[in-house]
Structure 1
Amino acid sequence: MTKTLTFKRVVRAPAAEVARLFTFSTHLREWLSDVALATPHKGGRLYLGWNSGYYASGEYTAVTPSRIAFTWRGRGYPAATRVQVGLKEKNGATTVTVTHSGIGAGKAWGRIPADIARGWEASLENLQSVMETGHDLRFTLRPMLGVMVEAELDAERAKKYGVPVDHGVRLSGVVDGMGAQAAGLRGGDVIVSIGGKKVASSPSLFAALQGRRAGQTVPVTFYRGRDRRTVPMTLSARPLPEVPATAAELAEYVRGLYAGYDAQLAECFAGVSEAEANYRPAPDEWSAKEVVSHLLQGERDGLSYLAELQLGNERSYDGPFENSTLQVRVVADSYPSVAAMLADYRLAEAQTVALLAGLPPEFVARRSTFWRMAYSYTQAAPHFDEHIQQIKNALAAARR
């Protein structure tokens, strides 16, 4: 005997827009899973994965304007189950009815039925939130450590940094006024566990905070060189700044942000010779010019990323994000001067502002994507400030 679970949620959005969140990989990641691959037609594949290690796979059995159905076999399931999504629109709002059937009972199924119920209840609440406000509750309610990640540790990096473990997340710095700083962490520390959960990558760092709330205190274990330490850390609330609401407002906000960046860069390089700009403080460190190369590549990559979001075709990565020093150095070497590279950096900034200003109304109305894109710009300053300090340090070393 099998059981069927049914869940309902009314969302203030057209049915066609709600349907996108069940059929597009980009939009599935915005409310349901951390990884998604979807081919939304009858017989098309569906794969969903979470940073917790859970995953589910299946195929679409129906894709119509009012009904979407797919099979679902989660990790550890004794058999495949079935999911049907009904969409009924009235007066601009859509009633979403999710029916999950074919769920077994008994020892083989264990806690699976309860996990399914808890998962759909939380996910549909999040679906409503991202559709109506843009807020992904998995992110906005998740507390912050207040750390900046430099790299994920492996055997080679462990040897380089003198750390006696080959897993963990190495910090480049901490955010002023947040829990990590108050607990005494600093750049160069390697976090290996939070709240008793192993941290081996950036996704596992975030997964360790799932289910936690701001104000809670958790033990954080980290290495400072060969010294292993465990300290209590109070989790900080995630500040949610006012996010620009329209394409024009966002473009103007980013224009002002870039003007500040450009002024700082101009001040840093005033009177700097090419030899000083090309000086590397150490063989494996970047010169001031190479830091600008990194910023330029980031701006160009960001422009491509914005176009992907606008088209609903966002890239997804399996491996950890890392900067390519080879790319940074090749690009830096291709420019005859820092001034020429800074000119291209300003051009890339202008192109970004123009793209933001030209975003179509239907994209702006899609709060699930527009809000997180706009929010990312409100959080960009600490990354830039870190690189400005890196430039200053490299130039200071060149002048010693």
Structure 2
Amino acid sequence: MTRIPELLAPAGDAAALDAAIRSGADAVYLGASLFSARSQAANFAAPQLGQAIDKAHLHGLSVYLALNTLIAQDEMETALQIAGRAAERGVDAIILQDAGLAAELHRYLPDLPLHASTQMTVTDRAGLNMAARLGFSRVILARELTIKEIEGVTAEAKRHHLETEVFVHGALCMSVSGQCLLSSLNGGRSGNRGACAQPCRLPWTLDAAQKDPFPWLSPCDQSLLDGIPDLTRIGVRSLKIEGRMRSADYVGQVVAVYREALDRLQDNNPLNRQERDRARERLLLAFNRGGRFSDRPISGQMGRAFLAGSYSGSYGLFLGTVLKSDPVTGVLTIRSDKASNRTVTRGDVLSVRMSGEDKERASAPVGKISQTSDGWRVQGFHPDVLRTITPGLQVYQMGSQ
């Protein structure tokens, strides 16, 4: 039986924690009310933090507290107090970016495991030496590494008695492991202080000659589903899913897919190609940018396919084209994309768009649905909306409401 890595899920709020537990995560990471790199997530205030730790432990999950922003000198005492209270409640580790806070925690709470945040940008032996000196037990590797580089760093980490952790799914930052200064310059909010304004998702012009702004800095989300066997083989200890700002439904769907892939690998019966394709489709429906995922930089491949394109938000999956829109009966008839072979069910959200446009014309959850010989007849769109929908418009499946 293959020894598989830990599956680490985001828990931005209590509902996401419950979803991670139900879907089979081995561990969760979450933030307190201060010093979290996702300050806009709901996070967990002092009473709720202890309750979350207790609930996760009751179900056999480890809990890692993210105190992963840079800390000002006059904030150090408060940060130490938060970590101390979490340690008293049995938190399994603290995730840190600030080297000063790490040194202080290792001094005052030497038995509390510390994990070096990906924002410490550990990529080589020098970074591992630093992590070992500061008392870290695990390093969350920089997200710019290829699979070959991860293998080399993981082998070196073992010589330092350090575990490695790798992000396998979720949003990518255009900057180096999230150490972005553009948010501070452009939006007045520091990404390194947990308040990123996400300027990478905004449209920009490269020069005065460019008439239409374009989100040149917005990458696709990452999925390393196909890389799980290699990451397992080289000894990565934990596979991490990004998404403390995402919904509980997203957390549940993504964790379930990776749980199945890991369990199959443990039983020496890894997902075959068709099963991986179906699993990837489930992940795409949970959330994607640009209609696809990126495996960069782990694959080492470059190119514009890394960029999500001009459509903002979750892209969904192409379902088919509008054949007929009838505001009298309330029925939208859709001709299916024969290549997709997907099913549509009540509650699925459909998005209608013009080919080549970056904005949707309309969206609605499916109320009633019936199969036709070449697609579906659905109800759910308001009659006034149906009057604006014309044959030939593209329809995208966005997952369940």
Q: Common fold, TM-score beyond 0.5?
A: no
Q: What TM-score comes out, normalization by structure 2 length?
A: 0.27
Q: Could you say which structure has the larger radius of gyration?
A: 1
Q: What TM-score comes out, normalization by structure 1 length?
A: 0.27
Higher helix share: 1
